[in-house]
Structure 1
Amino acid sequence: MMFDAIGIAGTGLAVHRKWLDSVADNLANVNTATSTDGEAFRAKYVVAQAGEENGVYVRGIEQGDAQGRIVHEPDHPLADGEGNVRYPDIDLSEQMGSLVMAQRGYQVNAAVVDRARDSYQAALQIGRGQ
């Protein structure tokens, strides 16, 4: 039973770590400009799915829109003839909310692993008669 808890929480740790990585990548590139003839940075979104037995896994990574958003910045070195550059279409507040949820999920799964380990160690101590 305790090993099941550790295994299930371990899958949650893996998914939340991947989610944290994708959010960090999105936040790092929120202000990455490109020329209008290229693609904008494409945000990454983790798609999780319940496992067949227990736990969860990353089914895949979906990418955001390559069109991004066009911003008029005539002084930008990548500006086109009309003074426009392309930025990713990433909502900063949405990403910050995702960051908090991914952090909390990671922390909760780590706590489950810690508590299951502590319970297992306590059971071993009882078995030794101490």
Structure 2
Amino acid sequence: MTFDAIGIAGTALTVHRKWLDAVSDNLANVNTVRASADEAFRARYVIATEGEGTSGVYVSGAAYGDAAGRLVYEPDHPLADAEGYVRYPDIDMSAQMGQLITAQRGYQANAAVVDRARETYLAALQIGRS
């Protein structure tokens, strides 16, 4: 049972780490400017799927945001088109911050499960030595 807990929590740690990576990429590119004729930076969203039985959870893929982004009037920007528009990604920073907090707390919770399961296993080994 202890090894199952470590394995399951380990798969969740991987999912949360990949989720944190995606959110940090999205936040880092929230102000990435492109020419209006180009695609905007596309936010990445992790898709998690439960495994068979008690095998844990896994990243099954990624979904991407809209490449159209949003056009912003900035006539002085070097990438502005003839009408003065540039393209920004359509990323909601507050939603990304909420996801960041959720993913971080999930990671912390699963790390605590791994620590407690390891402590339980070590305690069982000590009992066996007595």
Provide the TM-score with structure 2 as the length reference.
0.98
Q: Per-residue deviation at 1:53?
A: 2.5
- Counterpart position of 2:40: 40
Task: Identify the residue that residue 9 of structure 2 maps to in structure 1.
Answer: 9
Q: Quick one: distance in 1 between partners of 2:90 and 2:68?
A: 8
Paired residues, number: 129
- Structure 2 counterparts to residues 33-72 of structure 1, below 5 A: 33-54=33-54, 55-72=56-73
* Distance in structure 1 (CA, Å) of the matches to 2:44 and 2:103: 14
The letter of the residue matching 1:46 is V
Superposition TM-score, scaled by structure 1 size: 0.98
Alpha-carbon distance in structure 1 between the residues aligned to 2:41 and 2:53: 36
Matched with 2:115 is 114
Tell me, in whole angstroms, the C-alpha distance in 1 between the residues paired with 2:5 and 2:70: 44
Secondary structure, counterpart of 1:31 in structure 2: coil
- Residue 18 of structure 2 aligns with an amino acid whose one-letter code is K
Q: Secondary structure at the match of 1:39?
A: coil
C-alpha distance in structure 2 between counterparts of 1:97 and 1:127, whole Å: 45
Q: Deviations over 1:71-120 (max 9, x none)?
A: 00011110000100000000000000000000000000000000000000
Distance 2:52 2:39 in 1: 37
Q: What is the aligned partner in structure 2 of residue 94 from structure 1?
A: 95
Determine what percentage of the aligned residue pairs are the same residue: 72
- The letter for the 2-side match of 1:71 is V
Q: Give the 3-state SS of the residue equivalent to 1:66 in structure 2.
A: coil
CA distance in 2, matches of 1:23, 1:74: 30
Cα RMSD of the aligned pairs, angstroms, is 0.5
CA distance in 2, matches of 1:61, 1:28: 18
Q: Mark the runs of 5 or more structure 2 residues left unpaired by the alignment.
A: none
> Which ranges of structure 1 fall in alignment gaps of 5 or more residues?
none
